[in-house]
Amino acid sequence: MSVKVELETLVRLQARELEVVRIREEIAAAGRARAAAKAEVAAAEQQVGEAEAELVAARSGARRFDVDLKAAEDKVGKYKDQLIAVKTNEQLWALQEEIRHAEAAMGDVETRILEQLERADALEGAIAERRGDLDEISKRVAAAIAAADRRGAELTAEKKRAGEAIAELRERLPADLLKTYDGVKTMRAGVGVAEARDEVCLVCNFRMRPQLYVEAANLAGIVRCESCKRILYVAERLELKRPSDDPEAGADPGGEVAGDAAS
């Protein structure tokens, strides 16, 4: 295998491996988005549940106050019945005072009942609104999850195809070159091959010695960056198109490999 073919194969291999990394990241991002969507539905369901629990408490409170109101009404009635048997002004005044206290207590209970009923009405409105919100959120989330599932299936298929291509490309390469590439890739953020242009390594921006660049351009052998140790190639010599040269070019595994920040 010529140096040119070896470098072309390495560039394609790296592009495929970076594609797998991108696919894995997208799958992970989709998983996080799916979890967030489900959490949004759960939060909306919790809001509805909390409002329903408050409604139950409000109605229960109103029923308890009904009992208190009946007791206050009975007490007022009892005092009024006792007025018939009053014989002195002192007894009359005392009973009238008791009646006033009992009627005041009865008014307080009626006010509390009214407050509970008004709260129940407000809660019923809030529950209806929150259920409407929950329905909208559930529909939106269901659609988003369905879309994520479809995209997940597509990504899984892409990953499988890329994995098969990687296996095929790795089989083509000499064992010693593959070992060098894997070693550099492990140390350099998954990027073991870098383009050299105008005597500069485009990944770590190290300016090469002119003679080293000439060797890389002339395909005299496998040349490595003296700074980041990545395997270097000159795109023009490999007849690889750069995305900047071809606006319609997509993520072609044979195209230029983007550099990373690590050096």
20-74 tens-digit pLDDT? 999 999 999 988 888 988 898 999 888 888 888 888 887 777 777 777 777 777 7
Confidence grade of residue 235 (pLDDT, cut at 50, 70, 90): very high
**Does 184 share its domain with 161?**
no
Q: Judging by DSSP bridges, how do beta strands 193-197 and 200-201 pair with one another?
A: antiparallel
167 is a domain residue: yes
Which of 146, 172, 198 delimits the end of a domain? 172
141 is a domain residue: yes
Residue 155: what residue type?
L
H or E stretch including 151?
helix 89-172
With 0-12 / 13-18 / 19 or more C-beta atoms within 10 angstroms meaning exposed / middle / buried, residue 72 is buried
**Does 124 share its domain with 226?**
no
With 0-12 / 13-18 / 19 or more C-beta atoms within 10 angstroms meaning exposed / middle / buried, residue 195 is buried
For residue 125, the domain's CATH number is: 1.10.287.1490
For the chain, the average pLDDT equals 84
**Alpha-carbon span 194 to 235, nearest angstrom:** 10
96 is a domain residue: yes
Query: What pTM was computed for the model?
Result: 0.64
DSSP state of 229: -
Bridge partners (DSSP) of residue 194 are 232
Look at phi and psi of residue 246 and say left if phi exceeds 0, alpha if psi is from -120 to 50, else beta: beta
**Does 128 share its domain with 184?**
no
Which of 140, 172, 204 delimits the end of a domain? 172
- List the domain range (segments joined by +) for residue 184: 175-238
Confidence grade of residue 261 (pLDDT, cut at 50, 70, 90): very low
**Does 109 share its domain with 192?**
no
223 is a domain residue: yes
